[in-house]
C-alpha cells in the first residue's frame, strides 16, 4: 500500500500500527507489533507507520524521521526478521511527504500462522511467545488460540466427562497398540546442505554463488531503501543476512524433516465407551546427537509445502533442561478402536552420537480435570551404532 493511502487514516487498527514518533525505537516492542499484526484476524498486508503523530494539535500529523532513525529501523528490521517464525515478507517503504521523510514497514505473507517469537531479544520473553493485534489492543495469547492468522471465537468450556470406573488403554507404535518397542532406520545425515569449512574461502564463494539468485529475490522483498550514504553497505549486510536465514532454514528442513526419524504413537480404547477431552504427554531425554522437532520445517523454497504443513496437527513440544515433553490433545477416543495419539508423526533428529542408542519414553494420559488415567513407557532403538553400520556395509 502506498504511504499516501496509509496517511489518509493514520489510526492504529488491526491492519495498521502508528508507531509513537516521540518514542525511542525499541526492537522488542517492534517485534511484538509485527507478530501481533501478522496474527490479526484480517486479510492482506499490514503496516507499521513511522514519522506520524495522529494526535497533532495543529492538524499537521507528519512529524518525519531523520536519516539516523532510518538506519536504526533497518537494523531493527534485521533483528525482527531473525526472531519471527514462520518467516514473513517484510519490506520498508520510505517517501517524502511535504518535505518530511515518512516510512512504513509492510508485513505480508501472513497466511502460515500462528506467528511467534523464535528467540529472545532481552531475555524477558520466552521462546514461542505469541501476540495478536485486535484493534487498539495488543494481546499476548497462546499459539493454540491462533490458527492461520484467525483467532477463533471463545467457546465455553464443556463440562468434564464422566469417566468409567475401569479405564483400559493400550499404547504402542504405528497401528499396533501392543507394540511398545521398535527399532527405526536412521537416514544418513553426514552431508547436510550448505555446510562448508569455516576457513574455506572457496567454499564461501560457492555458498554465496549457490544462494545468489534466491537471496537477490528475497532481499528485494525484504528492504526498499531510502537514499542515504551507506546504502551499499546496508544492502550487502541485508543480502548476507537473508542468505544466512535461507541456509539456516534449509539445514532445519534437512535435519528435522527430510532426514528426520518419524515416529507415530497410537492408543487403543478398551473401555467400551467413548472417552473425550484427553491430554497425552510423552517425554524424551536430552542427550548428544538427538533432538525433537518443535514443528514441521518446510522446504524454504517451496511455499506449497509450508501451506501443507499447516494442515497437519503437530503437537506442542516443551523443551526442558533434561529433555523435551510432547503434549497432544485428543478430542474424542471412540470405544474399542485404535487411533493415532498425536495426529502426525513426531520428527526426531538423530546424529552419529545417538546411533544405536535405546531411549525410553515415559508417557501419561490425563482426563480434562488433570487426573492421570494411564501411564507407562515406550522404547525406541535409534538404528544401528555407527561402527556396526559400517561393518554391515563392508
Q: What is the CATH number of domain 169-189+260-393?
A: 2.60.40.680
- Residues with Cβ within 8 Å of residue 294, at least 6 apart in sequence: 128, 317, 319
pLDDT > 70? residue 356: yes
Segment 233-278, tens digit of pLDDT: 555 555 556 667 777 778 888 888 889 999 999 999 998 899 999 9
Cα distance between residue 263 and residue 180, in whole Å = 12
pLDDT value at position 130?
84
**283 pLDDT band (50/70/90 cuts)?**
very high
- Ramachandran angles phi, psi of 143, nearest 5°: -65, -30
pLDDT value at position 91?
82
- Top-confidence residue, 308 or 82: 82
The closest alpha carbon to 242, from 250, 252, 254, 253, belongs to 250
CATH 2.60.40.680 maps onto the chain at 169-189+260-393
The string of DSSP letters for 247-312 reads: HHHHHHHIIIIIS-EEE-EEEEE-SSS-EEEEEEEEEEE--TTEEE-SS----TT-HHHHHHHTTS
The closest alpha carbon to 294, from 322, 243, 244, 255, belongs to 255
pLDDT value at position 344?
85
Give the percent of the chain with pLDDT over 90. Answer: 26
Which residues share a beta bridge with 275? Answer: 333
What CATH architecture does domain 3-145 belong to?
A: 2-Layer Sandwich (3.30)
147 DSSP 8-state letter: B
Q: What's the gap between Cα 73 and its chain centre?
A: 23
Cα distance between residue 178 and residue 182, in whole Å = 11
Cell numbers for 312: 497437519
**95 pLDDT band (50/70/90 cuts)?**
confident
- Report the 10 Å Cβ neighbour count for 235: 14
- Top-confidence residue, 57 or 298: 298
**119 pLDDT band (50/70/90 cuts)?**
low
CATH 3.30.950 maps onto the chain at 3-145
- Report the 10 Å Cβ neighbour count for 5: 9
Computed over every residue of the chain, the mean pLDDT equals: 78
- Report the 10 Å Cβ neighbour count for 245: 18
pLDDT value at position 224?
39
Q: What is the pTM of this model?
A: 0.52
- Residues with Cβ within 8 Å of residue 375, at least 6 apart in sequence: 362, 363, 364, 365
The closest alpha carbon to 215, from 241, 248, 193, belongs to 241
The closest alpha carbon to 348, from 305, 286, 278, 302, belongs to 286
- Top-confidence residue, 98 or 373: 373
**222 pLDDT band (50/70/90 cuts)?**
very low
Segment 292-341, tens digit of pLDDT: 998 888 777 765 555 455 556 788 899 888 899 999 999 899 999 999 99
| Contact (CB, 8 A) for 306 and 298 | yes
Torsional class of 109: left (φ above 0), alpha (ψ -120 to 50), beta (otherwise)? left
- The mean per-residue pLDDT over the stretch 208-228 comes to 43
**100 pLDDT band (50/70/90 cuts)?**
confident
pLDDT value at position 348?
95
Amino acid at each position: 500500500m502506498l504511504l499516501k493511502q496509509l496517511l489518509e487514516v493514520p489510526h492504529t487498527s488491526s491492519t495498521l500500527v502508528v508507531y509513537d514518533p516521540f518514542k525511542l525505537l525499541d526492537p522488542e516492542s517492534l517485534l511484538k507489533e509485527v507478530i501481533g499484526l501478522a496474527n490479526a484476524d484480517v486479510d492482506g498486508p499490514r503496516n507499521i507507520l513511522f514519522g506520524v503523530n495522529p494526535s497533532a494539535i495543529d492538524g499537521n500529523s507528519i512529524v518525519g524521521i531523520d536519516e539516523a532513525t532510518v538506519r536504526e529501523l533497518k537494523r531493527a528490521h534485521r533483528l525482527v526478521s531473525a526472531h519471527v517464525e514462520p518467516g514473513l515478507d517484510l519490506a520498508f517503504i520510505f517517501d517524502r511527504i511535504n518535505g518530511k521523510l515518512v516510512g512504513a514497514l509492510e508485513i505480508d505473507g501472513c497466511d502460515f500462522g500462528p506467528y511467534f517469537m523464535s528467540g529472545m531479544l532481552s531475555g524477558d520473553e520466552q521462546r514461542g511467545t505469541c501476540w495478536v493485534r485486535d484493534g487498539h489492543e495488543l494481546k499476548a495469547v497462546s499459539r493454540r488460540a491462533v490458527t492461520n492468522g484467525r483467532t477463533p471465537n471463545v467457546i465455553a468450556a464443556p463440562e468434564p466427562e464422566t469417566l468409567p470406573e475401569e479405564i483400559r488403554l493400550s499404547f504402542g507404535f504405528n497401528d499396533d497398540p501392543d507394540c511398545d518397542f521398535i527399532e527405526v532406520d536412521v537416514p544418513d545425515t553426514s552431508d547436510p546442505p550448505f555446510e562448508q569449512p569455516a576457513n574455506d574461502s572457496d567454499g564461501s564463494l560457492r555458498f554465496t554463488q549457490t544462494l545468489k539468485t534466491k537471496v537477490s529475490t528475497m532481499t528485494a522483498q525484504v528492504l526498499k531503501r531510502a537514499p542515504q550514504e551507506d546504502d551499499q553497505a546496508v544492502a550487502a549486510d541485508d543480502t548476507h543476512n537473508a542468505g544466512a536465514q535461507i541456509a539456516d532454514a534449509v539445514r532445519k528442513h534437512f535435519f528435522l524433516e527430510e532426514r528426520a526419524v518419524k515416529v507415530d504413537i497410537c492408543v487403543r480404547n478398551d473401555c467400551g465407551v467413548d472417552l473425550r477431552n484427553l491430554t497425552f504427554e510423552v517425554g524424551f531425554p536430552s542427550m548428544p546427537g538427538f533432538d525433537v522437532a518443535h514443528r514441521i520445517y518446510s522446504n524454504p523454497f517451496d511455499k506449497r509445502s509450508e501451506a501443507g504443513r499447516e494442515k497437519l496437527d503437530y503437537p506442542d513440544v516443551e523443551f526442558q533442561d533434561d529433555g523435551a515433553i510432547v503434549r497432544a490433545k485428543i478430542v474424542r477416543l471412540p470405544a474399542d478402536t485404535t487411533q493415532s495419539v498425536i495426529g502426525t508423526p513426531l520428527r526426531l533428529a538423530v546424529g552419529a552420537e545417538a546411533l544405536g542408542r535405546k531411549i525410553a519414553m515415559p508417557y501419561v494420559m490425563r482426563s480434562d480435570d488433570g487426573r492421570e488415567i494411564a501411564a507407562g513407557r515406550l522404547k525406541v532403538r535409534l538404528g544401528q551404532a555407527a561402527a556396526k553400520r559400517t561393518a554391515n556395509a563392508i
